[in-house]
Amino acid sequence: MRPAAFLLALVLIPALALASAVPDLAQVKSNGIDYVSLEEGAARLGLRMERLVPPTAVMLKDGPQPVARLADRSRESDIKGLRVFLGDPVIERRGTFYLSRTDFEARIVPRLRPDLCPAPPRPPRVIAIDPGHGGLDHGTENRSLGTMEKTYTLDVALRLRKLLEGAGYAVVMTRETDVDVPKQIRAEIANQASADLLVSIHFNSLYPNTKTTGVEVLSFPPRSQRSTNSWSPGEKDDSEARDAPVNEFNTWNAVLAGALHRRLLDSLRTGDRGEKFEHLGVLRMLKCPGVLVESAFLSSDTEAGRLATPAYRDAIAAALLGGIQDYSDLLRRLRPEPVAPAGAVPGTQPSSPAGPPARSVPTRPGAKP
């Protein structure tokens, strides 16, 4: 087989494997949504489903190892120890558990069998960092401590940039000073820099609730799925009938979200508020995978106090770097090595990103270096 044909085959095999895992699964329709059999879907992934007590919950296992827990009429799941909200509730009919086709393809497969996901993007070389808010947009505030979200998002972003550049990545910042940049322009900055992924840095608030703490990771909902908050009582269905540009990367948004989510929880030892969906303007127009992270609650005096220390902001930046590296390592394993030109010395392909940039990529569309 010629090298080009061999590479094409390696790219197509995962896409064909995922396609063969879905269409002929037992399927039902509920409220206009296509659902597939969870037990059959698990089997296609090399897993088995085990019913729990109470019988309204099930567990997926890889051999003896539990890898996911789901429950009837619930959107909340546990996937490899992470709290993950689905786009549609699990349903049970006549003893069979069903998961929406979209959740199976865009939530379950990427986390449990990423090797079956089609068209892995290249391992990241250019990272876009988006410090949330800025200028007149202060974001949330801690009233008792007098601290503003926009200050901490930029501080953490600058710390992360230093770490990423030290690791050999090129970095584009959507802002480097205390200015407000429109959300769509932030995506445009990433796109014009040909960024391989974007991480938008934010901090959370639930005022007047000052007790809640923890980490949330947000990604853009797949077409026809609602944002997580729109399921709350009194909220309207905000699902969209058309794909946004970022929906091209639904599976890899999920993989990136999981990598950052795990690193933040492991590093910060805080509560798990889960991976959720939201129709976020900063993500909508992206031409690469992207997520938004909320690493702490400014409405909590406890977490706001920690965030006020440089050491805690260093820990957040280091966790984000670790998540990006984990994501990058996975993509390297999934993508075939390029065919070496004739006469090339074996083993000379660098495993890290191409050499460190002399400076960050310009941060505004049309800006000059």
pLDDT at 342: 59
> Average pLDDT for residues 52-57, to the nearest whole number?
87
Q: Could you report the per-residue pLDDT of 297-335, keeping only the tens digit for each?
A: 999 999 999 999 999 999 999 999 999 999 999 999 998
133 contacts 149 by C-beta, under 8 angstroms: yes
Q: Is the pLDDT of residue 57 over 50?
A: yes
pLDDT at 337: 63
pLDDT at 108: 97
Considering the domain boundaries, does residue 368 fall inside one? no
pTM higher than 0.75, yes or no? yes
Question: Does 163 share its domain with 79?
Answer: no
CATH of the domain at 249: 3.40.630.40
Q: Give the tokens for residue 76.
A: 């909340």
> Average pLDDT for residues 276-280, to the nearest whole number?
98
DSSP H or E segment with residue 190:
helix 183-192
- From the CB of residue 220, how many other CB atoms can be counted at a distance below 10 Å? 27
Question: Does 110 share its domain with 166?
Answer: no
In the chain, pLDDT over 70 holds for what percent of residues?
85
> Average pLDDT for residues 104-116, to the nearest whole number?
96
- DSSP line for 94-117: TTEEEEEHHHIIIIIHHHH-GGGS
Question: Does 244 share its domain with 312?
Answer: yes
The mean predicted confidence, pLDDT, of the chain is 89
Cα distance between residue 339 and residue 328, in whole Å: 20
Question: Does 64 share its domain with 185?
Answer: no
Q: Could you report the per-residue pLDDT of 329-348, keeping only the tens digit for each?
A: 999 999 866 665 655 544 44
124 contacts 197 by C-beta, under 8 angstroms: yes
pLDDT at 25: 83
CA angle, corner 182, sides to 180 and 184, nearest 5? 150
> Distance from first CA to last CA of the chain, Å, rounded?
44
Range of the domain at 16: 3-116
pLDDT band at 16 (very low <50, low <70, confident <90, very high): very low
Cα distance between residue 323 and residue 261, in whole Å: 8
Q: Is the pLDDT of residue 281 over 80?
A: yes
> Which of 265, 133, 99 minimizes the C-alpha distance to 201?
133
> Average pLDDT for residues 112-117, to the nearest whole number?
95
Considering the domain boundaries, does residue 90 fall inside one? yes
Q: How many domains does the chain have?
A: 2
Question: Does 62 share its domain with 138?
Answer: no
Cα distance between residue 160 and residue 156, in whole Å: 6
pLDDT at 361: 44
Poorest-pLDDT segment among 40-44, 260-264, 350-354: 350-354
Question: Does 43 share its domain with 145?
Answer: no
Question: Does 7 share its domain with 140?
Answer: no
Q: Give the tokens for residue 302.
A: 């406890």
> Average pLDDT for residues 230-243, to the nearest whole number?
96
